[in-house]
Amino acid sequence: MNIFYVMLLGFAVSMDGFIAGIAYGLKNIKLPFSSLLIVGAVTIACTGTAMLGANYLEQFINPHIAILCGSLLLIGIGILSLFQEYLTKAIPLYEANNGAVSARQLTISIGRLVISIMAKPETADVDDSKRISPSEAVFLGLALGLDNMVATFAAALIGFLPAYTPLLMGTTQIVVLAAGTYVSSCIVSERLKKRFPYLPGLLLILLGLLRLS
């Protein structure tokens, strides 16, 4: 796959990061450079894991079936992304529990936090300090990396992704988060911000259709 395709994939799956950055800018929540690097590192790990999983699975299925499955998966992710704004409205936001918890409760709590961040990015600021700490950045990275991971897995099934893909994905995530934070206070209107959730879904559908043709 050429670099343009990889860049378009990176842009499509990183748009949630741009929207999160806008949300942080509007809420005056700071994203230190160290936290941005952690988000990028988590994205790299998610992307690399998805590529390894897809490459392993390709050994057991027909290449044409792999391409078809990958293309349909991309289209499915895109369609789901179009309705994400409505699907996440009913998700209860995470509330920190300061008491002692069991391992099972902790696992459930972490899962709820990640899902809550996906629905409302500013939830990542658990301690309400108006600053995303390194530990909070890990959960932000996981929330942003889930879509990235599934989309990369689908793209890797369609065709071989270059070795630099995880680095490109991580760098793109850092750039769009920082750009979203900056742009929200300077350029982007609230009306325009509400239109952004539809763009990544449309791009992923386009990528899937291109590979089916």
In the predicted structure, residue 194 carries a pLDDT above the cut 70: no
* pLDDT value of residue 22: 75
User: What is the Cα–Cα distance from 16 to 174, expressed in whole angstroms?
Assistant: 12
In the predicted structure, residue 187 carries a pLDDT above the cut 80: no
User: What is the Cα–Cα distance from 44 to 149, expressed in whole angstroms?
Assistant: 9
Q: Find the range with the poorest average confidence among 102-111, 117-126, 193-202.
A: 102-111
Burial class (CB in 10 A: 0-12, 13-18, 19+), 121: buried
Average pLDDT value for residue range 178-201 = 64
What tens digit of pLDDT does each residue of 38-75 get? 999 999 998 999 899 888 887 777 767 766 776 777 67
In the predicted structure, residue 203 carries a pLDDT above the cut 90: no
SS3 30: strand
Average pLDDT value for residue range 121-139 = 71
**Torsion sign (Cα): 3, 42, 110, 96:** negative
* pLDDT value of residue 160: 74
Average pLDDT value for residue range 69-82 = 68
**Which structure tokens are listed for 108?**
């459930």
- The domain limits of the chain are 3-207
User: What is the Cα–Cα distance from 172 to 167, expressed in whole angstroms?
Assistant: 8
In the predicted structure, residue 123 carries a pLDDT above the cut 50: yes
Residue 132 CA neighbour count, 13 Å, CB half: 32
Among 212, 73, 85, smallest CA distance to 149 is for 73
* pLDDT value of residue 184: 72
pTM over 0.85: no
In the predicted structure, residue 99 carries a pLDDT above the cut 90: no
Question: 89 or 156: whose pLDDT is higher?
Answer: 156
* pLDDT value of residue 58: 76
* pLDDT value of residue 175: 92
Residue type, 202: L
In the predicted structure, residue 200 carries a pLDDT above the cut 60: no
**Helical residues (DSSP H) of the chain, grouped into ranges:** 3-26, 33-57, 63-82, 84-87, 103-119, 134-158, 165-184, 190-193, 198-212
What tens digit of pLDDT does each residue of 151-184 get? 888 888 877 788 899 999 999 999 988 888 887 7
What tens digit of pLDDT does each residue of 6-16 get? 888 888 778 77
